[in-house]
Amino acid sequence: MPRPPTMLDISDLKVFYGPIEAVHGISLCVPEGQCVTLLGPNGAGKSSTISAICGTVKTSGSVKFLGQDLANTDVEDRVRAGISVSPEGRRVFSNLSVEANLLLGAGIRRDRDAIRADIERWFRTFPILGDRRRQMAGTLSGGEQQMLAIARALMSKPRILLLDEPSLGLAPRIVSQIFEMIEQLKQDGMTILLVEQNARQALRISDYAYLLNTGTIQAEGPASSFGQNDELMAKLTGLG
Amino acid sequence: MTLSPTQRRGLIGAALLSAVLIAIGVLATYFGSRYQIRIVYGAYVNLLVVIGLQIFMGNARITNLSHSAFMGIGAYVAAICVTPAATKAISLPAAPFGLNAFSLDPVTSAIIAIAITALITALVGLFIVRMTPIGATIASLAVLVIIHSIFLFRTDIFKGNQAFFGIPQVFSLTSIIVVAVIVVVLARGFRESRWGVQLRASADDETGAAAMGVNVARLRLIAWILSGIVLAIAGISYAYFLGTISARPFYFNHVFLTLAMLILGGMRTVTGAVLGTFVISFGLEVVRWLETGPVVVGIDLPEVLGLSGVVLGLVIVLTMAFRPQGIMGDREIEDIFSKTK
């Protein structure tokens, strides 16, 4: 089977926080329609990589999206190009209503009626959010906030969805629900870059995986072979 | 233009608030003495200031301390434009740039005053919106002092602490009620607009909003300028009713008073701004009466000078300590009538 065309192509990416280098020249690619997972412990540089793709940190190296170098583009350009993120720690806008959070996700769009229709669509998909549309997002449960964060990321109609630790701090039953939701998105054709510590669940729905540690890529391969590498899995689940 | 359900609710809320404003105004007009009408007019001027303050502070959640100075700019520019040349020849004999040699009609003067205030707020805003919230607050305090110093010492233009007199008294209580209704609709419209929502989101989580493509500095600037325009309108309304202005009312005491109103009512909502203004405006009248040492049910109370300042300070301290979100919190007027789940 031929590999699908590459959507996101990162090479020799370094991320800097002032004088400190957090990611030391990593290369990875996300093919269209696939789900790629970035595994690794705390402080491995996973979130820094996500921020680099979004354009919110200082970087060197190249990030190419649909063949275009993103070097001189700002955050807004990247959202417009089709990159959308559900940030770590379910960062919803807690003092705004559920509905306003979704509206914000559509900040770059101007098609008012379609935005309204999309919001209603998400409320049908997640009735629990629909029931609480006027409630402050901060009053939702952890799982609900994560659903909202993902739905909000989808409001910009992205080509690629970056999910930063969607299972963080959630009860196992809720984690399974969130992964089902991600799997559904993938089946609908969404390209996903997933950052996770929960290796087993992430590998189950992924096509390809990278293991990141202390800012470098230490292993990569198809998700299925990752799962069969007992030594690696022991290490990963130990970390997760 | 299609409105979202939230925006439609906002419109209902603005209508409810307008009804309250009109009701208070009508009661005062028909039953109030001349003195009481002046008090109510003053409350409406402060209402415009507090709403102007809310537009920036409530949405960007950055404390602004320079607002009274921008109100002053609006008042002075309108006063200089509208006052008859003959009066200005006496009151401002040494005015530069021929400022004492012309006079315009009240509407044109008001438009010029709003435009100049907007321009100055825009220039100041370019710096303010790029600072951290605390930096912006401190800088705004400095702006207040700078503008006040100019009012105070360029006596050839502003007459400093002496009265700038001869402004045509073209406004009545009815005029300011109409203006207040327009401003309430404007403030509520901004709060529920895409810009307002994005700005409030950036106040919740600046990085998160930025990652969504929200241009935080630009939105803050928009709110800052809009706030400046409303403050200019407040200043103009003040000058057009009283007929005389001086530098003193546009300084610390007024900053403090209006800040207390917004904090007590709740800065996050327009309803909070309206509620806080009326509670403190009318509450202070009672306090001022107590200050004089009246006889209440046979008890001769002592004279307590300075009580109003103490009460105002206590309002801020106690609100901050026990209900930092203000009386209204996140609730607008329509939320009181229809319960949210």
Angstrom CA distances, B252 to B1, B148, B224, stand at: 42, 10, 20
The CATH number linked to A215 is 3.40.50.300
Where would I find the H helices in chain B?
Answer: 5-31, 34-60, 67-82, 85-91, 106-128, 133-153, 155-158, 173-192, 194-204, 206-211, 216-242, 252-265, 270-291, 307-322, 333-337
Helix axis angle, A98-105 to B194-204, nearest 10° = 100
Nearest residue to B177 (alpha-carbon basis) of B298, B25, B324: B25
Examine residue A141 and state whether it is found in any structural domain, yes or no.
no
State which residue of chain B sits closest to A140, comparing Cα positions.
B341
- Which residue in A74, A104, A152, A162 has the most chain B C-beta atoms within 10 A of its own C-beta, making it the best mutation to test that interface? A104
Reported as a single tens digit per residue, the pLDDT across B240-262 is 999 999 999 999 999 999 999 99
Examine residue B58 and state whether it is found in any structural domain, yes or no.
yes
- Cβ-based contacts under 8 A for chains A and B: 75
Examine residue B295 and state whether it is found in any structural domain, yes or no.
no
Element containing residue A10 per DSSP (H, E): strand A6-17
* A3 CA: distance to closest CA in chain B (Å): 30
3-state secondary structure of A191: strand
Give the pLDDT of residue A240.
42
Nearest residue to A180 (alpha-carbon basis) of A155, A201, A156, A152: A201
Q: Are B331 and B275 in contact (CB under 8 A)?
A: no
Quote the number of domains for chain A: 1
Q: Are B128 and B144 in contact (CB under 8 A)?
A: no
Nearest residue to B212 (alpha-carbon basis) of A181, A235, A94, A154: A154
Residue type, B154: R
Angstrom CA distances, B131 to A115, A187, B57, B134, stand at: 33, 45, 14, 8
Give the pLDDT of residue B155.
84
Examine residue A144 and state whether it is found in any structural domain, yes or no.
no
Strand partners, A28: A10
**Cβ contact (<8 Å) for A116 and B4?**
yes
Examine residue A145 and state whether it is found in any structural domain, yes or no.
no
* A108 CA: distance to closest CA in chain B (Å): 7
Spatial neighbors of A199 by CB under 8 A, at least 6 apart, are A39, A226, A233, A236, A237, A239, A240
CB atoms closer than 10 angstroms to residue A138:
12
Nearest residue to B171 (alpha-carbon basis) of B81, B83, B241: B241
Give the pLDDT of residue B237.
96
Residue segments in chain A with a per-residue pLDDT below the cut of 70: 1-3, 227, 230-231, 233-240
Tokens of A148: 């909202």
Examine residue B51 and state whether it is found in any structural domain, yes or no.
yes
Of B194, B205, B341, the CB nearest to A91: B205
Quote the number of domains for chain B: 1
Of A54, A95, A101, the CB nearest to B330: A95
Of A80, A100, A107, the CB nearest to B6: A100
Residues of B in contact with A85 (CB under 8 A): 211
Torsion of CA B228, B229, B234, B238, to 10 degrees: 100
Residue A73: give the domain boundaries: 6-96+158-239
Phi, psi of B80 (to 5 degrees): -65, -40
Nearest residue to A204 (alpha-carbon basis) of A213, A190, A194, A216: A194
**Cα(B213)–Cα(A18) distance, rounded to whole angstroms?**
23
Examine residue B168 and state whether it is found in any structural domain, yes or no.
yes
Phi, psi of B229 (to 5 degrees): -65, -45
Examine residue B99 and state whether it is found in any structural domain, yes or no.
yes
Examine residue B275 and state whether it is found in any structural domain, yes or no.
no
**Cα(B62)–Cα(B7) distance, rounded to whole angstroms?**
24
Chain B, residues 182-211, CB within 8 A of chain A, namely 194, 197-198, 200-201, 203-205, 207-211
Examine residue A124 and state whether it is found in any structural domain, yes or no.
no
Phi, psi of A38 (to 5 degrees): -110, 110
Residue A213 gets the label, from left (phi > 0), alpha (psi -120 to 50) or beta, of beta
Q: What is the pLDDT along chain B (341 residues), one digit of tens a residue?
A: 567 777 888 889 999 999 999 999 999 888 888 888 999 999 999 999 999 999 999 999 999 999 999 999 999 999 999 999 888 888 888 888 888 888 899 999 999 999 999 999 999 999 999 999 999 999 999 999 999 999 999 888 898 888 888 899 999 999 999 999 999 999 999 999 889 999 999 998 888 888 788 889 999 999 999 999 999 999 999 999 999 999 999 999 999 999 999 999 999 999 999 999 999 999 998 888 888 878 887 788 787 788 888 898 999 999 999 999 999 988 888 888 775 53
What strands, in cross-sheet order, belong to the sheet with A20-31?
A20-31, A6-17, A58-65, A68-69
Q: Is A54 on the interface with B (CB under 8 A)?
A: yes
Residue B74: give the domain boundaries: 5-250
Phi, psi of A58 (to 5 degrees): -80, 130
**Cα(A51)–Cα(A185) distance, rounded to whole angstroms?**
22
**Cα(B220)–Cα(B202) distance, rounded to whole angstroms?**
9
Residue with tokens 């790029």, as numbered in its chain: B130
Reported as a single tens digit per residue, the pLDDT across A186-213 is 999 999 999 988 888 888 899 999 998 8
Examine residue B73 and state whether it is found in any structural domain, yes or no.
yes
